Amino acid sequence: MKKSTLRRADLVFSVSLMVVSIAAMIESVKLLFNPFGRDFEDVRGDDIKQSLETWYQSVGLVPFIIAAFVFVCALCLFHFARREGARFDFIKLGNVRALLKNEEFRVAVIVTVILSAYIFAFMPLCREYLDFFPRFQAFPFMIATFLMLFCMMVVFGEKKLVPILKYFVASALAAGAIAYGFGMLALIPLP
């Protein structure tokens, strides 16, 4: 790969890292003031005062420090890429169209969408509506994992009836094995 292409990639990656690290620092500060994720209307002034007095014991301290170091590293990478001549002039309509036609980019977008649905939709909805078995707390996790695996297999596999039935069985077995193995045998709390 050419040096100019690498520096452009460094430029884009450093900006992405800065955005992610700033978001992580904001969430870490929220953990300082509200470590249990309560509604801010329910947080009393005494709770905030106690959190500030014991800031060094906050669960958000280590993530904040790591995010701050990542931000500094991203700034250094951004400076280095700019010094080497990288500019944002490569973002043109033709390049964006070529990127959207790229098969690897489409696969990355699809995987990101399915994983985001798993984290932000399947898990919370299954935890809220499918928590039927108090002794098997991994049940909602198992159903959400099954849905995610099945979606991935259907999207990237053959679209015929027999393979889809195989995907269904494989997803169910894998989700059940993961939930039982980690949740029941290893006693690892699952989300």
DSSP-derived secondary structure for 16-27: HHHHHHHHHHHH
Over the stretch 90-128, which tens digit does the pLDDT of each residue have? Answer: 667 776 777 678 788 788 889 999 999 998 898 888 888
Query: Chain-centre distance of CA 162, in angstroms?
Result: 33
Could you give the angle at the alpha carbon of 37 between the alpha carbons of 36 and 38, nearest 5°? 95
Q: What does pTM read for this prediction?
A: 0.59
Over the stretch 42-60, which tens digit does the pLDDT of each residue have? Answer: 666 666 666 667 766 677 7
- Going 106 to 112 to 115 to 121, the CA torsion angle's sign is negative
Over the stretch 78-93, which tens digit does the pLDDT of each residue have? Answer: 988 888 877 776 667 7
Domain map (residue ranges) of the chain:
3-91, 100-185
Mean pLDDT, the chain, rounded, equals 82
For 175, other C-beta atoms within 10 Å of its C-beta total: 21
User: What is the Cα–Cα distance from 73 to 169, expressed in whole angstroms?
Assistant: 45
Q: Closest Cα partner for 156 from 109, 118, 119?
A: 109
Residue 118, token pair as written in the block: 């798993």
Q: Give me the residue label for tokens 């005062």.
A: 49
User: What is the Cα–Cα distance from 14 to 81, expressed in whole angstroms?
Assistant: 9
Q: Closest Cα partner for 52 from 65, 66, 33, 34?
A: 33
